[in-house]
Amino acid sequence: MAKTQQISKKQTSKKPVSKKQSAQQKKAQSNTRLWMIGGVALVVVVVVGILISRQPAVSSASEKALPLEVSVSEAADLRDAGAFMLDVREPEEWMAGHIPGATLIPLGELASRVSEVPTDRQVVVVCRSGNRSATGRDILRDAGLEQVTSMAGGMNQWAGAGYETVTGP
């Protein structure tokens, strides 16, 4: 029985770790730590990237917020710079005279036709005297368009100032 006890003691006792094995274990632990640190760093980089991409882009000076209302001469300058001219009058008024290149969407239809107004350009809303254009501007702003203004004085002042108008469709 003494031999049996000795064998079982030998089986349960730990073998001494050699220096080579100890170095390999330390290297493996070091590699594991490096991978963990690298993984955490990667997660941080991804999270920061997502947060940065969700922030709105900084507007350039040319995309400075438009005032709620502009004069006829300011509207002409915006048109010349590529602004979308939106006429919210009725078709009969439009046929009698409108700004060349303008688009007609009567005020009563604007809320259901907002998708026809470009979001990548400044928008100047025009009417006969300036009242309906302010309402049209507010409809577009409420729909999320930010670069929208209305022309004070409307087509009455546009034509009175000598700016070009065209008749017909």
- Please tell me the distance from the alpha carbon of residue 34 to that of residue 28, in angstroms, as a whole number: 10
- Tokens read off for 125: 């809303």
Helices and strands (H, E) in the chain, number of each type: 7, 5
- Please tell me the distance from the alpha carbon of residue 136 to that of residue 89, in angstroms, as a whole number: 10
* Residue 98 DSSP class: B
Q: Are 123 and 79 in contact (CB under 8 A)?
A: no
- Number of Cα atoms under 13 Å in the Cβ half of residue 68: 7
Catalytic residue among 75, 86, 125, 127: 127
Max Cα distance, the chain (Å): 123
- Please tell me the distance from the alpha carbon of residue 45 to that of residue 39, in angstroms, as a whole number: 10
164 catalytic residue (yes or no): no
Tens place of pLDDT per residue across the chain (169 aa): 555 555 555 555 556 656 666 667 777 777 787 788 877 878 887 777 777 766 554 444 345 788 999 999 999 999 999 999 999 999 999 999 999 999 999 999 999 999 999 999 999 999 999 899 999 999 999 999 999 999 999 999 999 999 999 998 8
The pLDDT score that the predictor gives to residue 89 is 97
